[in-house]
Structure 1
Amino acid sequence: MYLVTFRLDPGEYDAEFHELNDAIQAAAEAIDGYLGKRTWHDPDSEDVLVVYYWESLDALDEFGAHPDHERAKRRWTEWYDAYEVTVTEVLDAYGSGFGVDADPPQ
């Protein structure tokens, strides 16, 4: 499994952002190998972390090449003050579990 952590410093969102964001989420969900996502908001800094769960790098590459995702990557300065993406391979995961909040999200 692979985790893609998208950390962002939000700027101003407009209607076009929300339309594109919804289209990108729909594109991710349509890809075989997309396992879900979780979002966290830091109340102190206003940073947002979105962690996407992927079954394979092939699925992640397919998502990265999607036209809506490509368009959003070109226009990030319109909506974010800063961002970073980290791709991590999960080698092991363990713990007591979180029931319906288990990762990857169901």
Structure 2
Amino acid sequence: AMPGFLGVEVWVSESGQRRNATYYWASLEDVQAFSQHPHHLEAKRQYARWYKGFHIVISEVVRSYGDGAFAHLTPNNRVPA
């Protein structure tokens, strides 16, 4: 429910040993505000209760496109032919 939070996609491997969650934010400033929120800071301190480890990648979506067959959190930037 944070401002700028657009949504999340989650993937779990067949074995259940690997998980990936991709969180989408409107801006880097929104990510930074979330990273300093007291609830998030408390959850980070207790991450071992839920996870065996973690790795964070912060990246910027430069372009997003597809054939339009399904909706996605990022806009379809492809111009129809």
TM-score, scaled to structure 1: 0.62
Aligned pair count reads: 74
Aligned to 1:85: 56
CA RMSD of aligned residues (A): 1.5
The CA distance in 2 between the partners of 1:70 and 1:48, in whole Å, is 21
Q: Which one has the bigger strand percentage?
A: 1
**Aligned with 1:59: secondary structure?**
helix
Q: Distance in 2 between matches of 1:34 and 1:97?
A: 23
Gaps spanning 5+ residues in structure 1: where?
1-28
How far off its partner does 1:93 sit?
1.1
Which ranges of 4 or more aligned residues in structure 1 deviate by more than 4 Å? Answer: none
Percent identity, aligned pairs only, is 31
Greater share of residues in helix: 1
Matched to 2:73, the amino acid is D
- CA drift of 1:61 comes to 0.8
- Secondary structure of 1:87's counterpart equals coil
Larger radius of gyration, structure 1 or 2? 2
SS class of match (1:83): coil
Match status 1:103 vs 2:73: yes
Structure 2: segments with no counterpart, 5+ residues: 75-81
Higher RCO structure, 1 or 2 (CA under 8 Å, sep 6+): 1
With normalisation by structure 2, the TM-score equals 0.79
